[in-house]
Each structure stands twice: as structure tokens, then as C-alpha cells.
Amino acid sequence: MDVYQTEEQQVEAIKGFWKENGTAVIAGLVLGFAGFIGFNYYQDAQLANEVATSDAYQTVMESAEKDGKAFTESGGKFIAENKESSYASLTALALAKAASTHKDWPEVAKHLTTAIESSTDQGIKAIASVRLARVQIQLEQYSEALATLAVALPESFKAAIEETKGDAYFKQDKIELARNAYQAAIDVEGQANNGTLQMKLNDLAQVSSIVN
């Protein structure tokens, strides 16, 4: 199962933004606050810490391309040392993706859970939640998958959420609930021509005819 066929561009866009602009944004925020409460309060420590975190994140991501084992170790260490940073959740997503190449689904689930817990960005939380639910379905943890998707998530993820719910229901032979979920996904604006969803609905119709 490839749990990274969707939402990947959203994650890459966020990662790319922080890679190119993270230091500048952080520096701008620090300088902006300085105008109100004085630059001396933040001075070197605050800015240096954020810049160091950004640099450390870049180094960790570079290690992902060179040595998978080293990335797992350095990534885990980075998250432990930077739990309050926005980079922690991005690193957890990258670790989850790396683990998925080995089909180590429990490890993927662990990293996605970390991404959800460490992020304050609702988009990242939603991406990680949908991916986690898909992994839980892969692990036959259907109730857990539905619970993962039961939290409040951005409306823009409704189609992915409903489709994943449908998959969980289908695996439990809850045909009517699966049909409702798939239809809800199709009804979302822009999803009307989703061939995959329509195929899933057609498959449900065939299952229903056999059962009945």
C-alpha cells in the first residue's frame, strides 16, 4: 500500500517554504517584535536558536538522501531536541515516509502519531491523520482508523477523510456505511469526476448484489 499518493504536494510545499524562507521569516518576526519590546530582550539567543534549528533540520533532511539508517537516528534525535519547533512534525512525516518504503507500518504509524502530536498547523495534522488512518486500515485496526478521523480537521480534507472512512467500513463489511462515506467524498466539490471513488462505489454495488 502506498499511503503517500495524496497530500504529498502539500507537504512538499510546506517543507519547501520553510527551507527557502524559514530563517528569513523567523528573523523578520524577531525583528518585528523587537520594535515593540526592544531588541535586547531577544537579541542573539532567540534568533540564534531558531536559525540553528533551521540549519539542523536542513542537515537532517540531507541525511535522508544519503543513509536511511542515519536519517532514522538523526531524525529521532532532532525531534526529541526540538519538540516545540514546527520542524519536528515535518521531520516526523519524513521519517514515516522512509519507514513506508520498507512497509514497516507500525513504525510509520508511530512517526505519524508524533507528527500529529507535535504540530500546531492544522494542515499538517490533517495530512498526518489521514495517512495514519490509512496505515491503521493496513494493520486491520479499523476502529482505530475511524477514531483517528473523528477529530475536527480542516474542511478541505473532507474528501480524503470520507474516502478513508469508506475504506475502513468496507473492510468491516459495513457496506451501507461505506457507500455513504464514498458518496460523501464524491459530493465534495471537485470530486465528482474522481474515477477511483466511482470505482469503489461500483465495487460496492457488485458486493451488494452478490450478498443479496
User: Model confidence over 103-152: pLDDT tens digits?
Assistant: 999 999 999 999 999 998 999 999 999 999 999 999 999 999 999 999 99
Q: Identify whether the C-beta of residue 108 lies closer than 8 Å to the C-beta of residue 3.
A: yes
Residue with C-alpha cell 508511530?
110
d(C-alpha 81, C-alpha 117), whole Å: 15
Per-residue model confidence (pLDDT) at position 39: 46
How much of the chain, in percent, has pLDDT values that exceed 70? 72
The answer, yes or no, to whether residue 81 has pLDDT greater than 70, is: yes
- 195-to-156, 183, 200, 202 alpha-carbon distances in Å: 19, 12, 9, 10
- 113-to-128, 192, 202 alpha-carbon distances in Å: 7, 31, 33
The answer, yes or no, to whether residue 71 has pLDDT greater than 60, is: yes
Whole-model pTM? Answer: 0.75
